[in-house]
């Protein structure tokens, strides 16, 4: 049920996208790796299954997981798992650099676009890998008798998060120095670099355009804490804004949220840093604003759908342009079912703010779209029923419990029949 204000505080979980890349990173080391602040999400469980299929021993203790990949196998990761989770392709770099050979199925497309991996592949080739793609599987092996990748200078045509992660991980155990130019600068890249360095890797420059990795022969055991999820945090900040509520969002890193906080302030909801890891929303009148998604430190594509929900009730005309993914405006049709006034042309959506949304049954099309529909439901008049919660469960830990803790009238319906 919508239109009631929220109050209180909500604690943010560990970052899904960091955790996924870092789980792949545990393959770099044949000793125990302990990861703390792991979010409890279906994507994380799927990645765990991928690693287990490769011979990794995993112990789960709520938010801490232990990995041991002493017996890592150069076997093909199972397609049914890789196809469910694109990030599982990221295992290719660590397996190749450790074992000299790797076979990983192509992840294929997904709801938000075709999502190719040629930048990952070209990076590995530049480091001396022989790569063939046959029957939908990427087969990579290291040329030469040393069985070791060689450091290389790699310029990425686009600052792809996944390609930067694949190349960075592969380079940690390569022979010589690798430089990645036009690297992705997302906080998750910095987290992965810090994790690798905690195992003895020599990576500098993560978070800038140019990352330098000096290869080492071996990495050692580590105990590492995943950063907070900036997208989950941003989603709750939008929940405060869209319900005109003052809420505290805790266990966050303010610096990771600068583009989101700046845009919220432009729209009319101030966000103040209450304490080192605590943000407070100060609600206000909502005004239209234009948004263009860009690689970090630009506005994150993973927050586009949630902000679109907010702009549907912000006074005036907003233009939302998606530049990172080709097919990431599918939530528009569902928001329109709730009374939003939006027209899509190409990769842009023109949103004219309406005074109020009205609750309706809607269907989540992907992870962030599902969050956008929940946010819209919080602000709408009447009851909204969001279906397709398997998308939500990929990336939001306990979303309904966390919102209930803030006073939202939300519940998960078991066995709902439309």
**Contacts to ligand UD1 by CB under 6 A:** 17, 20, 86-87, 113, 115-120, 158, 160-163, 184, 188, 301-302, 324-325
Minimum distance between the CB of residue 325 and ligand UD1, rounded to whole angstroms?
Answer: 5
Closer Cβ to ligand UD1, 49 or 216, answer by number: 49
Would you call 110 a catalytic residue per the annotation? yes
What gap in Å lies between CA 163 and CA 101, rounded to an integer? 18
Between helices 230-242 and 258-267, what is the axis angle to 10°?
A: 10
Closer Cβ to ligand UD1, 115 or 350, answer by number: 115
Closer Cβ to ligand UD1, 27 or 248, answer by number: 27
CA–CA distance from 415 to each of 17, 59, 213, 412 (Å)? 30, 32, 51, 10
Minimum distance between the CB of residue 95 and ligand UD1, rounded to whole angstroms?
Answer: 17
CA–CA distance from 166 to each of 80, 87, 128, 130, 280 (Å)? 21, 10, 14, 16, 36
Minimum distance between the CB of residue 278 and ligand UD1, rounded to whole angstroms?
Answer: 25
What gap in Å lies between CA 250 and CA 244, rounded to an integer? 18
The residue number whose beta carbon is nearest to ligand UD1 equals 162
Residue 238 CA from chain centroid, whole number: 17
- Do residues 215 and 152 lie in contact, with contact meaning Cβ atoms separated by under 8 Å? no
Closer Cβ to ligand UD1, 17 or 69, answer by number: 17
Closer Cβ to ligand UD1, 189 or 203, answer by number: 189
What gap in Å lies between CA 144 and CA 397, rounded to an integer? 46
What gap in Å lies between CA 333 and CA 327, rounded to an integer? 13
Q: H-helix or E-strand containing 134? A: strand 129-134
Minimum distance between the CB of residue 160 and ligand UD1, rounded to whole angstroms?
Answer: 3
Cβ neighbourhood burial of 135 (10 Å; 0-12, 13-18, 19+): exposed
Instruction: Given the residues 29, 33, 40, 110, select the one marked as catalytic.
Output: 110
Between helices 16-25 and 230-242, what is the axis angle to 10°?
A: 170
Minimum distance between the CB of residue 202 and ligand UD1, rounded to whole angstroms?
Answer: 23
Closer Cβ to ligand UD1, 121 or 342, answer by number: 121
CA–CA distance from 19 to each of 259, 275, 338 (Å)? 22, 25, 34
Minimum distance between the CB of residue 119 and ligand UD1, rounded to whole angstroms?
Answer: 3
- Give catalytic residue positions: 110
């Amino acid at each position: 049920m919508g239109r009631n204000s929220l109050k209180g505080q909500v604690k943010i979980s560990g970052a899904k996208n960091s955790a996924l890349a870092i789980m792949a990173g545990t393959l770099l080391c044949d000793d125990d790796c302990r990861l703390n602040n792991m979010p409890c999400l279906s994507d994380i469980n799927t990645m765990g299954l991928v690693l287990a299929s490769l011979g990794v021993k995993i112990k789960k203790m709520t938010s801490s997981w232990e990995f041991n990949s002493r017996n890592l196998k150069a076997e093909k990761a199972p397609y049914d798992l890789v196809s469910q989770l694109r990030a599982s392709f990221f295992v290719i770099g660590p397996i190749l650099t450790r074992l000299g050979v790797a076979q990983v199925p192509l992840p294929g497309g997904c709801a938000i676009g075709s999502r190719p991996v040629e930048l990952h592949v070209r990076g590995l080739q530049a480091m001396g890998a022989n790569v063939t793609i046959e029957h939908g599987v990427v087969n990579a092996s290291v040329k030469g008798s040393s069985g070791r990748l060689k450091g290389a200078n790699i310029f990425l045509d686009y600052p792809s998060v996944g390609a930067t992660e694949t190349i960075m991980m592969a380079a940690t155990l390569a022979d010589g120095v690798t430089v990645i130019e036009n690297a992705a600068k997302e906080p998750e890249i910095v987290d992965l670099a810090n994790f690798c360095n905690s195992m003895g890797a020599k990576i500098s420059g993560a978070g800038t355009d140019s990352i330098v990795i000096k290869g080492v022969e071996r990495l050692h055991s580590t105990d590492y804490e995943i950063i907070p999820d900036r997208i989950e945090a941003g989603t709750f900040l939008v929940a405060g804004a869209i319900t005109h509520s003052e809420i505290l969002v805790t266990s966050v890193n303010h610096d990771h949220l600068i583009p989101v906080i700046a845009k919220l302030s432009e729209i009319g909801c101030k966000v103040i840093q209450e304490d080192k890891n605590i943000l407070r929303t100060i609600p206000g009148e909502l005004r239209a604003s234009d948004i263009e998604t860009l690689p970090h430190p630009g506005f994150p594509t993973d927050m586009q759908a949630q902000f679109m929900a907010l702009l549907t009730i912000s006074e005036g005309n907003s233009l939302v342009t998606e530049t990172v993914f080709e097919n990431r405006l599918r939530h528009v049709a569902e928001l329109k079912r709730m009374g939003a006034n939006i027209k899509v042309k190409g990769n842009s959506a023109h949103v004219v703010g309406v005074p109020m949304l009205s609750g309706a049954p809607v269907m989540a099309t992907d992870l962030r779209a599902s969050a956008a529909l929940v946010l819209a439901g919080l602000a709408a008049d009447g009851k909204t029923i969001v279906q397709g919660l398997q998308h939500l469960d990929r990336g939001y830990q306990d979303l309904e419990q966390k919102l209930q803790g803030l006073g939202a009238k939300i519940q998960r319906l078991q066995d709902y029949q439309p």
